[in-house]
Amino acid sequence: MAHSNKDGHHRTIAMTLHDGKYGVNTFFEMKGTTKMAKVMDMYADRHGCDPLQTLRFYLNGVEVKPIDTANSVSTSELRQS
């Protein structure tokens, strides 16, 4: 989860997306305030597909929405653990 440090700078979050069908991992680093839509678009660009037509993103069985942020996804993951 990203937090501001003493200097007010945001830490980055490292995220690995796993393609369950092909077994491919894609790595991203982002600020905690980054909307997941940006990550979804970058993933789709790298893999040559349309994110809204062909992709679904899940974290522990819960669908991740484009309006979610890395922070909100991390927070919900912690609440479910």
39 contacts 30 by C-beta, under 8 angstroms = yes
Is residue 81 in some structural domain? no
* Overall number of domains in the chain: 1
Integer Cα distance of 50 and 61 in angstroms: 22
The predicted pLDDT at position 77 comes to 53
Is residue 22 in some structural domain? yes
Is residue 79 in some structural domain? no
Range(s) of the domain holding residue 23:
12-74
CATH code, 66: 3.10.20.90
Residue type, 13: I
In this prediction the pTM is 0.70
Per residue in 13-72, pLDDT (tens digit) is: 888 888 888 888 989 898 989 999 998 998 889 888 887 777 888 887 888 999 998 888
Is residue 68 in some structural domain? yes
